[in-house]
Chains A and B, each alone.
Chain A
Amino acid sequence: MTFKGGVHPADSKKLSSHCAIKPVPVPKQLSIMLSQHIGAICTPLVNKKDAVTAGQLIANADAFVSAPLHSPVNGIVKDIALCSHPVLGRAQAIIIESSAENQPKQPYPARFDSTFDIAPFSAEQIFNAVRNAGIVGMGGAGFPTSVKIKANPQAPIKDIIINACECEPYITCDYRMMIEWTYQILAGAALIGKTLNCGNIYIGIECNKPDAIEIFEKAIKAAPFAVGMKIAPLHTKYPQGGERQLIKAVLNKNVPTGGVPPMIGVLVSNVATAAAIAEAVAMNSPLTHRAVTVSGHGIKNPGNFYAPIGMAVGELIELAGGLKDNAVKVILGGPMMGFAVADLSTPLTKTSGAVTVFTENDIVKRKETACIRCGRCIAGCPININPTKIAHAVKNNMLDIAQQYYLSACIECGCCTYICPADIELTGYIKTGKILVARQKKLMPK
């Protein structure tokens, strides 16, 4: 079973899929963005020149939909200042200068094996650990995980899907986690199941990762806590890892437009998030590091790294051998939904799963030509809307028509732009349209 639409870009994962996740040397300076996720922006709890220790809480927000921030290293708060943000342009960040005695943080997978026991942890303990660790959806959306795993008696969760698709080309960090941190991911999944009292756990994996499927199958058989988890092998198709598409493919259910998966009793969590949950609950360790893929034809030695959040993209690139001479584009994230950065001092956030570097040959030199109404964007649209109609309405400043054609339903996956033979930036127009509508409704400042 699969969802309707979607596209088949070359997955280009061979560049880095053989590279194990390596911890990186501690960078001299980290910039922890105060806005890393959906929800309330954090307020700093430290002042300039304060000393901080690794794992110390440095920013928090009272709002329910939010996640606290922790320092990844021992060091001194150098400043709280504007810094370039991958999505927001410039935003406030806590800048920490790390002290010399820091050792690189090692990932924890060795602590998890088939004998891991979830019994000692109560649902409340798990929820508190996740909330206090500042875990957010690490697949890219950045929705605070504590909100998702808070049991709601009105809408109980009946199915949990662990998103192990990694459908974006080039990115391999989730894949590496799946084969290196298998038990940790399964432990995280089991812990989510326990907080929500839900035993229906699916692991959705694209069929282009047969070894990961095999490893998971073996691990599920071996680990008592994972008994009953089901592997859902899925078509290799972009955006298979999109929440709505994944739910459609695994459970054949549609998430209502404008709604969220809990409305139909489903929770989706990325493998990295599951691993972070296991770490937070079992090790009491906050989310300060994550696996990041550095790949693309513009990078000398592609690889997968375990990097502290707040590390500058440029430093990570240096660790991967640096940029090739013909590199022209650095993307934070994958090529389909990632954000091109102009400034290599942009720091990693909790949602940055990859740095993709493109050369002159990879980038698209778009010169928009006339739409020939071929309908390929419609055929490729995973949520069945009419991208060309919406894009042209936005272009001609007819926002009411754009809304009539369900502008707001767009998930911004980029399939329409990818497939458009006339090289029209359909996704770009639709994103612009959403911003214009928000301004019109005064939901967003000008």
Chain B
Amino acid sequence: MAQILTVSPSPHINKHHSTQSIMLDVVIGLVPAAIASFVFFRMKAVVVLASCIISCMVFEVICNCIRKKQNTLGDLSAVVTGIILAFSLPPTIPFWACIIGSGFAIVIGKMVFGGLGANIFNPAMAGRCFLTACFGGMMVSWTVPATLDNNMPKVGASSVAPAAITQATPLGLIKEALKNKSAPQDEKIAAIRGIFKNMLIGSTAGCLGETSTIALLIGGIYLIIRKTIDWIIPVAVLGSAFICAFIACELDPHHYVAPWLHLASGGLLICAFFIATDPVTAPLTKKGMWIFGAGVGALTMLIRLVGEYPEGIMFAVLLMNSVSPLIDRFTKLTPAGGKPNV
């Protein structure tokens, strides 16, 4: 009996999962939306996705070298950031802008805080925010999907080359449609119905990953079934957005669209399932998750309904990220047996 025995604190077994396997699950959850983006935006989607993912990984490696830390590419968090950033960019964006956005996301959004787990803001949203600030024009130029039917209104179709035919996003279109006071009401409704149908399958203008409602739902439900994400945040985000939109619609149906249109559009789904659920930047406690999710949903709708931007996910998420440590503090857990008498 000459074996050398290992000694360590209990427990001596653990569940077979890791940060890597969790991130891999998120990547798998994003695959349906990626496929949809390839179908609708073809090469443009490939270029944006590839340049975001590769540059996120390269920046992560560079940062680790500078910090003299071990390589953390294996945890796949850079890949997830890359995919989510790409999904939140318009397909027309040039590859160099993708690289700049990825650089900001990884270097400033994540690494300067100390790497994965220490960042305050969702890195992908930080990167997108930077791009919006720097290249506002690029960020709102939407391409028509390759499969779009010809009845849809196009912006500038006659004046530019077909490759750059652009169109407003569904939310933009709807905002325009509703503003058009001269058009009869049922015509508006028909137009909106058409837009909604396209939104379900994703054949509409918009950011890479946000167009196909069905693909995002498949991915999101996969993550919830796998218990990779908690169901609370998606439900809270969508629920509070729905309630806000419902109230607005009830108050002034001529001015505001039906709430389900809001839920299915403008990246609210990708936000609910993939962005707001980023564990690092969301609160830890269940009560905190409800508050956080409800805040994201409500702020998004506030920006959409009252503000100038047709979409408000990015700002809503970043704002709520900044208060999530506070939410954690206010939702401190009490032990099952109550507070101890000290």
Contact = CB atoms under 8 A, between A and B. Distances in A.
Interface of A: 3-4, 7, 9, 169, 244, 248, 254-259, 314, 322-323, 325, 327-331, 333, 335-342, 344, 356, 358, 362-364, 366, 369-375, 378-379, 382-386, 388-389, 405-406, 408-409, 412, 414, 417-423, 425, 427-428, 431
Given A328-B3, A358-B12, 16 more contacts: A256-B341, A257-B336, A322-B1, A329-B12, A331-B10, A335-B13, A344-B1, A372-B116, A373-B279, A375-B279, A378-B333, A383-B337, A384-B335, A386-B332, A418-B13, A421-B15
A385 B335 contact: yes
Interface string B266-305: 0000000000000110101110000000000000000000
Which of A342, A386, A421 gathers most chain B CB within 10 Å?
A: A421
B340 A389 contact: no
A422 B19 contact: yes
B9 A428 contact: yes
Contacts of B4: 328
B336 A427 contact: no
A258 B10 contact: no
Contacts of A4: 336
B117 A373 contact: yes
Complex A-B, nearest 6 residue pairs according to Cβ-Cβ distance, in ascending order: A414-B11, A370-B117, A257-B337, A258-B340, A428-B9, A409-B335
Contacts of A389: 284
A328 B338 contact: no
B18 A421 contact: yes
Given A423-B18, A427-B10, A257 B338 contact: yes
Contact of A384 (B9, B334, B342): B334
A418 B12 CA distance: 8
Contact of A248 (B1, B22, B230, B336): B336
B228 to A, nearest CB: 9
A3 B9 contact: no
B118 interface: yes
A404 to B, nearest CB: 8
Interface residues of B, number: 44
B280 A373 contact: yes
A278 B116 CA distance: 57
Interface string B308-342: 00000000000000000000000011111111111
A401 to B, nearest CB: 11
24 contacts: A9-B15, A244-B336, A244-B337, A257-B335, A323-B3, A329-B12, A336-B12, A338-B12, A340-B8, A340-B9, A363-B6, A366-B8, A369-B18, A373-B284, A374-B22, A375-B279, A375-B284, A379-B286, A383-B335, A384-B335, A388-B284, A406-B333, A417-B14, A427-B10
